[in-house]
């Protein structure tokens, strides 16, 4: 971290480049930018924070940082769960929240252009007013930004049917490490011109440059929705129902796995509360035309009961259904109130291997003597084993590290991936080579060196 005098000099230079309103160097301001939602990684308070109000200001700041070899950490809302915007090397945090304009929604082309700092929930509302639909829906959508979603290739419950952020990005405006601005991709749904830099930046976690604007494709808004709850006797049965429903061709828009303990928490919001008579629950949303929703509801009911589910409840009241999804979106914050510390994992396995993964997590929990909750977006195999610390001690930390390692190994053994939607950041960096292999990791490092030869962009992330 820079000395006080050096920080003051840096602040003056940045004010000259971006304006006094955009630059923060007071200790109390810097403290708020030292981590994302993880909080538990070793942190280094940045030397300055800049909230540029346009691409030109962001370009000027990056050109300055490049010249003086100052580390730069791009940041959206700071809602990530991988340590991705934790400024481990100090330097400048470049925050995009003031790049918050929806530049245009083209209903005829079914596309939109937005600045990186637009809050996802605000964008959803804007496109839905025009009868359109932008499916990506991370649980943090009330605060997370489009730029952050692109940087982490974020997912969410709807990924089972609609895919993740990467499936909707058509183009990006990005500022490179040296301050150069590129326009990759376009507003066209098809483009075959040169290297696909658009999707190279999608998921790059701020290590190649700063995304300042995004072009995305939109879909027609579904006319009907219906929520369903499947009550299962065991977690293994719930996992089998997931595989059966998908195999039968009734693909829900959302298909969430909820253990009994999580449902008990959610019942503080669900109205009326659900009787917790099963060990595992599947919360689903069907969408589409009225006829298709009715057909899929019947397929779902028949399939789940044939597989031994205790109950299939189709929630007819829209207000009641809304309480289910509100409770699901707030589950992680509620879990935080139960333990001294919480680590949320993010492993995806093929959907037909979910039963094995559920059993493996239970075995790891019992063997290590550590509490591990298990929920997730079961429809696409994206599971979130959640480690709950009953105390803060070296012994508990060692158990948690062992659990994380065993969970990741099991996911890979089942043909899965170490991250479905949270990204790598700091949290998964030590496992990256396990999945990608040395040759692929070396290729990625060469790309990084070509676009950021001085290594100033989000240092310490993806790999150490």
Q: Is the dihedral of CA 77, 459, 116, 63 positive or negative?
A: positive
- Cβ atoms within 10 Å of 393's Cβ, excluding its own: 11
What tens digit of pLDDT does each residue of 264-321 get? 999 999 999 998 888 999 999 999 999 999 999 999 999 999 989 999 999 999 999 9
For the chain, the average pLDDT equals: 94
Query: Do strands 48-50 and 23-24 pair parallel, antiparallel, or not at all (unpaired)?
Result: antiparallel
Q: In this prediction, what percent of the chain has a pLDDT beyond 70?
A: 99
Query: Given a cut of 70, is residue 182 above it in pLDDT?
Result: yes
Query: Given a cut of 90, is residue 332 above it in pLDDT?
Result: no
81, 60 Cβ separation under 8 angstroms: no
- Cβ atoms within 10 Å of 390's Cβ, excluding its own: 12
Which residues, in sequence order, are CB contacts of 169 under 8 Å at separation 6+?
150, 185, 198, 199, 202, 214, 215, 216
Phi, psi of 191 (to 5 degrees): -155, 130
What tens digit of pLDDT does each residue of 152-165 get? 999 999 999 999 99
What tens digit of pLDDT does each residue of 186-198 get? 999 999 999 999 9
Given this model, what pLDDT does residue 248 score?
A: 83
Query: Do strands 209-217 and 72-75 pair parallel, antiparallel, or not at all (unpaired)?
Result: unpaired
What tens digit of pLDDT does each residue of 47-105 get? 999 999 999 999 999 999 999 999 999 999 999 999 999 999 999 999 999 999 999 99
Given this model, what pLDDT does residue 464 score?
A: 62
- Cβ atoms within 10 Å of 434's Cβ, excluding its own: 14
- Cβ atoms within 10 Å of 366's Cβ, excluding its own: 10
Average pLDDT of 17-34?
94
What tens digit of pLDDT does each residue of 56-68 get? 999 999 999 999 9
Given this model, what pLDDT does residue 437 score?
A: 96
Query: Given a cut of 90, is residue 249 above it in pLDDT?
Result: no
Coil vs helix vs strand at 172: strand
Query: Given a cut of 80, is residue 18 above it in pLDDT?
Result: yes
What tens digit of pLDDT does each residue of 113-154 get? 999 999 999 999 999 999 999 999 999 999 999 999 999 999
Coil vs helix vs strand at 342: strand
- Cβ atoms within 10 Å of 392's Cβ, excluding its own: 11
**Structural domains of the chain sorted by starting position, each given as residue range(s) with its CATH number in brackets:** 4-95 (3.30.43.10), 102-220 (3.30.465.10), 224-332 (3.30.70.2190), 339-429 (3.30.70.2740)
Long-range interactions of 318-321: CB distance < 8 A, separation 24+: 320/270, 320/271, 320/272, 321/225, 321/226, 321/227, 321/285
Nearest residue to 212 via CA among 97, 324, 321, 119:
97
Given this model, what pLDDT does residue 8 score?
A: 85
- Return the structure tokens found at 194: 């040169």
Query: Do strands 382-389 and 341-344 pair parallel, antiparallel, or not at all (unpaired)?
Result: antiparallel
CA gap 283, 119 in Å, rounded: 26
CA gap 445, 207 in Å, rounded: 10
Coil vs helix vs strand at 170: strand
84, 149 Cβ separation under 8 angstroms: no
Q: How confident is the model at residue 1 (pLDDT cuts 50, 70, 90)?
A: low
- Judge residue 295's burial from the number of C-beta atoms within 10 Å of its C-beta, 0-12 exposed, 13-18 middle, 19 or more buried: middle
Query: Given a cut of 90, is residue 245 above it in pLDDT?
Result: no
Given this model, what pLDDT does residue 40 score?
A: 79
| Sheet containing 72-75, strands listed edge to edge, beginning at the edge strand earlier in sequence | 23-24, 48-50, 92-95, 72-75
Distances (CA, A) of 418 to 142, 189, 257, 414: 26, 30, 19, 11
- Return the structure tokens found at 355: 């039963």
What tens digit of pLDDT does each residue of 392-451 get? 999 999 999 999 999 999 999 999 999 999 999 999 999 999 999 999 999 999 999 999
61, 18 Cβ separation under 8 angstroms: yes
95, 53 Cβ separation under 8 angstroms: no
Query: Given a cut of 90, is residue 324 above it in pLDDT?
Result: yes
């Amino acid at each position: 971290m820079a000395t006080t005098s050096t920080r003051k000099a840096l602040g003056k230079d940045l004010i000259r480049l971006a304006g006094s309103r955009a630059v923060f160097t007071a200790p109390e301001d810097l403290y708020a930018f030292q981590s994302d939602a993880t909080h538990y990684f070793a942190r280094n308070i940045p030397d300055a924070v800049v909230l540029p109000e346009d691409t030109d200001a962001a370009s000027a700041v990056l050109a300055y940082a490049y010249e003086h070899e100052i580390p730069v950490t791009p940041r959206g809302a700071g809602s990530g769960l991988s340590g991705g915007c934790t400024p481990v090397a100090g330097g400048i945090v470049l925050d995009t929240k003031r790049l918050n304009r929806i530049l245009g929604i083209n209903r005829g082309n079914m596309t939109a252009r937005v600045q990186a700092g637009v809050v996802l929930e605000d964008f959803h509302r804007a496109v839905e007013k025009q009868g359109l639909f932008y499916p990506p829906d991370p649980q943090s959508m009330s605060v997370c930004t489009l730029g952050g979603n692109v940087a982490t290739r974020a997912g969410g419950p709807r990924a089972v049917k609609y895919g993740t952020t990467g499936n909707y990005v058509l183009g990006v405006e990005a500022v490179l490490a040296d301050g150069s601005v590129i326009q990759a991709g376009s507003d066209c749904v098809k483009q075959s011109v040169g290297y696909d830099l658009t999707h190279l930046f999608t998921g790059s976690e701020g290590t190649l440059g700063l995304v300042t604007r995004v072009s995305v494709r939109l879909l027609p808004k579904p006319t009907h929705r219906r929520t369903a709850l499947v009550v299962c006797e065991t977690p293994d049965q719930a996992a089998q129902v997931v595989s059966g429903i998908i195999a039968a061709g009734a693909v829900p828009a959302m298909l969430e796995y909820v253990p009994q303990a999580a449902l008990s928490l959610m019942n503080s919001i669900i109205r009326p509360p659900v009787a917790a008579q099963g060990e595992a629950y599947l919360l689903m949303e069907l969408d589409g035309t009225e006829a298709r929703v009715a057909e899929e509801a019947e397929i779902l009911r028949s399939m789940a009961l044939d597989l031994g589910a205790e109950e299939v409840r189709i929630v007819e009241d829209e207000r009641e259904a809304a309480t289910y999804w509100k409770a699901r979106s707030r589950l992680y914050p509620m879990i935080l109130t139960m333990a001294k510390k919480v680590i949320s994992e993010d492993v995806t396995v093929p959907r037909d291997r979910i039963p094995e993964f559920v059993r493996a997590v239970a075995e790891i929990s019992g063997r290590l003597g550590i509490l591990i909750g298990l929920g997730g977006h079961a429809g696409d195999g994206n599971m979130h084993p959640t480690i709950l610390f009953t105390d803060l001690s070296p012994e508990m930390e060692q158990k948690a590290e062992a659990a994380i390692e065993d969970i990741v190994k099991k996911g890979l053994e089942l043909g899965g991936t170490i991250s479905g939607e949270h990204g790598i950041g700091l949290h998964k960096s030590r496992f990256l080579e396990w999945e990608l292999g040395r040759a692929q990791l070396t290729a990625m490092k060469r790309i990084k060196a070509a676009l950021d030869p001085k290594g100033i962009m989000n240092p310490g992330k993806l790999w150490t």
